[in-house]
Structure 1
């Protein structure tokens, strides 16, 4: 897997995951919405940690600053 996520992209995903966590723990979201957003937040964190987004690959998107080919 080649990295295809830049620093800004990773930061945005982490911030969104933290916002979802805050909304969940303050009971702002619950039920099915909380489950769906929680799963999405977990995916955001995991893709940020490995710097690879599987949805970017088929479309050729690369937000990494040093584009290696």
Structure 2
């Protein structure tokens, strides 16, 4: 199964920014749960969100 992009540009950059901020916080001694930032970072970098696929959301311009 090929992953079709479903994360648009604004969504992508917000995910990357939030993901990086959470990871930096975790590295700087924040709570362990801040490592969840890996998820939005990855979905932003790959332009694909599995949850969006499940619920039928697509923020890409057509």
Counterpart of 1:43? 39
SS at match of 2:11: helix
Counterpart of 2:22? 20
For the pair shown, the structure with the greater C-alpha radius of gyration is: 1
Give the number of the structure with larger relative contact order, counting CA–CA contacts within 8 Å between residues 6 or more apart. 1
CA deviation map 1:11-58 (0-9, x unaligned): 11111112213323433x13xxx2x221x2111111111111000012
Counterpart of 1:3? 5
Aligned residues: 60
5+ residue gaps, structure 2:
none
Cα distance in 1 between the residues matched to 2:42 and 2:27: 20
Q: CA RMSD in A?
A: 1.5
Cα distance in 1 between the residues matched to 2:5 and 2:24: 29
5+ residue gaps, structure 1:
none
